[in-house]
């Protein structure tokens, strides 16, 4: 699967929701789309899923414009928390209806997921709790086996155990049927282990797109006595500082050279990894409140 966005803008009347969004995604990987409330995640995913059209710029999926292109849209599933209050269909009938239009839909797997999520398949959708409805949305997203699978904050309403089942099943089904998965979230620390690549949106612009391993390897946390830490990090890009008594931990962004590792060891400083959550907070702080 391949996707390319060039200079996408989206306005809602006079408000700008997305500006200058460009990226290329290539491969059957899990992409984490991170952003705070109102960053533009749903807006961007809705354009990718052809639920709405951008104001300017181009989007291509497999080299074609997806909007109103049935052939491309067959390959895409957009799973999000739907409103089922008017939905009197039973769970099993809803799934059967979806399976008719989805060539890769795996009903056996969907039933397995319903058992794992403890969803009674003979119950009407409108009678399920919010978390159970979200689990049905996740089931649809996973069992559709669509080459481009989009989950928009699908976990909302799910309890911690249900979310864990969802993450496990996502990884298992991705192994069986590799696909491009785009997943928006602000539960960064809980979900970061799922991501192959990370995209961070902030106030409608893309502030970062990198491979997860590369991203994590780029930053380090330097811990030790405050004076030594300050001297060591003085010329580095500092992201975050914590101090407890005389001990200080500073998160810095950038690769350390071999010499810097040696210097750190000499000064008795500890070098540890950074957390994506810290980087996310740093890159998206300010302006939204
Ligand atoms: N239908 C709409 N009409 C007008 N403005 C909208 C509409 N939908 C979204 N917006 C605005 O666009 C911006 C981006 O919203 P969006 O829903 O894409 O963010 P999000 O990152 O998905 O947020 P959240 O994490 O809170 O769901 C926000 O400022 C929001 O107020």
ipTM of the complex: 0.96
Q: Which of 205, 194, 206, 159 is nearest to 276 (CA)?
A: 194
Q: What is the CATH classification number for the domain harbouring 251?
A: 3.30.70.240
Cβ atoms 192, 212 nearer than 8 A? yes
Q: Encode burial over 98-109: b for 16+ CB neighbours within 10 A, e otherwise.
A: bbeebeebbeeb
**Model pTM score:** 0.91
Of the residues 158, 178, 203, the one at which a domain ends: 203
Q: Are residues 236 and 177 in the same domain?
A: no
Cα(204) to ligand 1 centroid in Å equals 9
Of the residues 203, 236, 269, the one at which a domain ends: 203
Name the residue with the closest Cα to ligand 1, atom 5: 12
Burial class (CB in 10 A: 0-12, 13-18, 19+), 122: exposed
Q: Are residues 62 and 164 in the same domain?
A: yes
Q: Is the pLDDT of residue 287 over 70?
A: no
Of the residues 140, 171, 203, the one at which a domain ends: 203
Name the residue with the closest Cα to ligand 1, atom 30: 38
Q: Are residues 277 and 177 in the same domain?
A: no
Q: Are residues 19 and 80 in the same domain?
A: yes
pLDDT tens figures, 14-72: 999 999 999 999 999 999 999 999 999 999 999 999 999 999 999 999 999 999 899 99
Q: What is the CATH classification number for the domain harbouring 193?
A: 3.40.50.300
Cα(16) to ligand 1 centroid in Å equals 10
- The percentage of the chain sitting over the pLDDT mark of 90, rounded to a whole number, equals 86
Number of structural domains the chain divides into: 2
Name the residue with the closest Cα to ligand 1, atom 26: 37
Q: What is the pLDDT of residue 288?
A: 42
Q: Is the pLDDT of residue 286 over 70?
A: no
Atom of ligand 1 nearest to the CA of 186: 25
Atom of ligand 1 nearest to the CA of 35: 21
Q: Which of 118, 184, 126, 112 is nearest to 155 (CA)?
A: 184
Q: In Å, how far from its chain's centre is CA 97?
A: 28
Q: What are residue 66's phi and psi, to 5 degrees?
A: -75, -25
Residue 289 inside a domain? The answer is no
Q: Are residues 233 and 254 in the same domain?
A: yes
Name the residue with the closest Cα to ligand 1, atom 12: 17
Name the residue with the closest Cα to ligand 1, atom 29: 38
Give the range of the structural domain holding residue 97, as residue numbers without chain letter: 2-203
Cα(43) to ligand 1 centroid in Å equals 6
Atom of ligand 1 nearest to the CA of 44: 18
- The percentage of the chain sitting over the pLDDT mark of 70, rounded to a whole number, equals 99
Q: Which of 27, 44, 26, 22 is nearest to 35 (CA)?
A: 44
Name the residue with the closest Cα to ligand 1, atom 1: 12
Residues with CB under 6 A from ligand 1: 12, 15, 17, 35, 37-43, 153, 186
Q: Are residues 146 and 250 in the same domain?
A: no
Q: Are residues 224 and 271 in the same domain?
A: yes
């Amino acid at each position: 699967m391949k996707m390319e966005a060039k200079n996408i803008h989206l306005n809602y009347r006079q408000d700008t929701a997305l500006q200058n969004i460009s990226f290329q995604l290539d491969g059957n990987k899990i992409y984490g789309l991170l952003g705070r409330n109102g960053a533009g995640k749903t807006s961007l995913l809705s354009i990718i899923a052809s639920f709405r059209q951008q104001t300017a710029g181009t989007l291509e999926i497999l080299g074609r414009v997806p909007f109103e292109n049935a052939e491309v849209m067959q390959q895409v599933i957009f799973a999000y928390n739907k409103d089922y209050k008017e939905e009197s269909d039973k769970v099993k009938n809803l799934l059967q209806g979806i399976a008719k239009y989805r060539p890769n839909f795996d009903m056996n797997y969907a039933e397995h997921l319903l058992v794992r999520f403890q969803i009674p398949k003979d119950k009407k959708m409108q009678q399920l709790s919010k978390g159970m409805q979200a689990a049905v949305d996740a089931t649809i997203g996973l069992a559709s086996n669509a080459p481009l699978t989009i989950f928009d904050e699908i976990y909302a309403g799910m309890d911690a155990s249900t979310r864990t089942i969802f993450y496990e099943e996502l990884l298992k089904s991705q192994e069986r049927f590799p696909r491009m998965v785009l997943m928006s979230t602000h539960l960064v620390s809980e979900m970061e282990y799922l991501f192959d690549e990370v995209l961070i949106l902030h106030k409608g612009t893309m502030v970062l797109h990198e491979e997860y391993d590369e991203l994590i390897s780029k930053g380090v946390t330097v811990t030790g006595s405050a004076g030594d830490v300050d001297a060591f990090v003085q010329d580095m890009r500092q992201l975050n500082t914590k101090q407890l008594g005389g001990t200080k931990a500073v998160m810095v962004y950038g690769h350390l050279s071999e010499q810097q590792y040696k210097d750190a060891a000499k000064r008795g400083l500890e070098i540890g990894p950074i957390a994506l959550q810290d980087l996310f907070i740093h890159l998206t702080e300010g302006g939204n409140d």
